[in-house]
Amino acid sequence: MIARREEGAAREGVSRVLNSLLEARTGQTLSENRSWRTDTALRPVLRAHGFASIDALIARLLTTRDAALEDDVVNALLNNESSFFRDLQIFDMLYRDILPALHERKRDRVLRIWSAGCSTGQEAYSLAMQIRKDADRWKGWRIEILATDISTAAIQQARSGVFCQMDVQRGLAIGDLLKWFEPSGDDWKASDELRHMIDFRADNLFAPHAPHGLFDLVLCRNVLLYFSADRRRKVFDLLSRHTHDHGVLLLGAGETVIGQSDDFMAHPAFRGAYGRRLPIMLEGSAGTRRTG
């Protein structure tokens, strides 16, 4: 009984150290449903750094400032699960309704999209494929897709455009695989045409450097669920500062702005999407200015 109690206390101590590191670096917390997989997630880090156990790893984290080790631990703890065309109905709506509406609305022929919390890039590549699918519609347009994530490892993979067999099977139609990817050993690599459409950057939603200016479409899906209510508000503030008056915000299934942001409201035209409640206040302007 005593041994079990001691084991429980030790596990709690490990969780506390990891949680504190994760929160300080990313703003995310190690929710209960993620803490069970800590051992599995950290196994490659133990191997790479030559630790015999998680306790040895924790001891090093507590006694030495080792930025490379901290990076690896944080990258391992982050949930980088993603898939192509995740929540197909959302992508159907994007293709059928939202992108054509933005095409209609934007007189400057510039389309700016931000995939915030892009993980290993499948969302951004899915968007790029949808736009390329309608190449005639977007001819003569400047398309900018910014994709950011806190995980440097995820961004590195996203930028490489290389995905394993399991990744390309999830959500990606076989026609798109043949059209936009080529075999690369046992993996598949996205075409240069797709990769060059996307600007992948490692960035922190709480200390952002990457997003500049306003975006017509912002996707921040399955990201907010890892943040506390206070931090979610901060993220919504940031998203709000970078969303055009006519812009569209898409969250993950089960995520909402209700009770968490006064800047966004349910989009009047696109079910499940959000739009700005009030025109954006631009710095230096006496009033509001409509853009785009």
Partner 1 sequence: MKNCLVVDDSKVIRKVARHILESLDLSVSEAVDGQDALTQCEAGAPDVVLLDWNMPVMSGMEFLEALATAKLEARPKIIFCTTENGIGHIKAAVEAGADEYMMKPFDRETLESKLAIVGVI
Instruction: Region of 153 please: left (phi>0), alpha (psi -120 to 50) or beta.
Output: alpha
8 vs 183 by CB, closer to partner 1: 183
| Cβ pair 111, 102 in contact under 8 A | yes
Position 83 contacts partner 1 (CB under 8 A): yes
Figure out which of the listed residues 166, 207, 229, 286 binds partner 1, where binding follows CB under 8 A. Answer: 166
**Which residues in 85-144 contact partner 1 (CB under 8 A)?**
85, 88
87 vs 199 by CB, closer to partner 1: 87
83 vs 243 by CB, closer to partner 1: 83
Position 169 contacts partner 1 (CB under 8 A): yes
Beta pairing, strands 187-190 & 215-220: unpaired
88 vs 278 by CB, closer to partner 1: 88
Smallest separation (angstroms) from partner 1 to the CB of 185? 12
Q: Cα separation of 180 and 24, whole Å?
A: 38
56 vs 253 by CB, closer to partner 1: 253
Closest CA to 82 of 150, 154, 185: 154
Q: What is the dihedral of CA 289, 111, 87, 73, to 10 degrees?
A: -90
| Among the residue ranges 16-24, 169-177, 200-208, 255-263, the one whose residues contact partner 1 (CB under 8 A) | 169-177
Question: CA 64, 70, 75 angle in degrees (round to 5)?
Answer: 165
Q: Cα separation of 171 and 228, whole Å?
A: 30
Position 171 contacts partner 1 (CB under 8 A): yes
Interface with partner 1: number of residues (CB under 8 A): 15
Position 157 contacts partner 1 (CB under 8 A): no
172 vs 249 by CB, closer to partner 1: 172
Position 287 contacts partner 1 (CB under 8 A): no
Beta pairing, strands 273-276 & 264-266: antiparallel
Binding site for partner 1 (CB under 8 A): 83, 85, 88, 165-166, 169-171, 173-175, 177-178, 182-183
